[in-house]
Amino acid sequence: MPADRGSAWADSASWAPPTEVTPPVERQVALDMARRSLYVAPVIIGVASIVWGVHGGISAAVGLALAVANLLLAAVMISWAAKVSLVVMAATALGGYILRLVLLTAVIFAIRHQPWVSWIPLAFTLALTHLGLLIWETRYVSASLAYPALKPRPQKGV
């Protein structure tokens, strides 16, 4: 009796992995957050410039760039790991978090003696941008298997 190709007992030489392609969900969400950061960047940098001067504006811009880069790097790492296996994805999520914290710390240490660094706007922008973008994005993320990344936008006139 020939082996059923769909069963778990099928000959390993005749088995091929599924060819279904899943969308890069993590990248879509991270790019959406990066796009949203462009909306708030002028406000954040403007307020920091008014309150702390030019150095505050520059520091806020750096904090915003670090936050967005951190979110994009997380998405790239998880997107890569998801293609390998669940164990690699879990290890990448935990190890990647630690790695990204080390990278953020290294950047902060690298710029700490620059004359344009203003610590309060840099720290507030870095922390609040992470939280703000994540909270803002929860309104647009779909938790259904039909639309695994962003919710579809309602069509006008329907």
- Which pLDDT score, from 0 to 100, does residue 62 have? 96
Confidence of residue 1 (pLDDT cuts 50, 70, 90): very low
Indicate the pTM of the whole model: 0.74
112: containing domain: 25-137
Residue 96 falls within a domain, yes or no?
Answer: yes
Render pLDDT for 28-71 as a digit per residue (tens, 0 to 9): 888 888 999 999 999 999 999 999 999 999 999 999 999 999 99
How much of the chain, in percent, has pLDDT values that exceed 70?
75
Domain total in the chain: 1
72 inside domain: yes
Cβ atoms < 10 Å from Cβ of 40: 15
Is 129 inside a domain boundary? yes
d(CA 19, CA 34): 30
146 within some domain:
no
User: What pLDDT, on the 0 to 100 scale, is given for residue 70?
Assistant: 94
In the block, tokens 């309060």 appear at 120
Write down the pLDDT at residue 23: 67
Residue bearing the bigger pLDDT, 35 or 151: 35
User: Does 86 fall in a domain?
Assistant: yes
Residue 52 forms part of a structural domain = yes
Kindly state whether residue 36 falls inside one of the protein's structural domains: yes
Residue 39, domain member (yes or no): yes
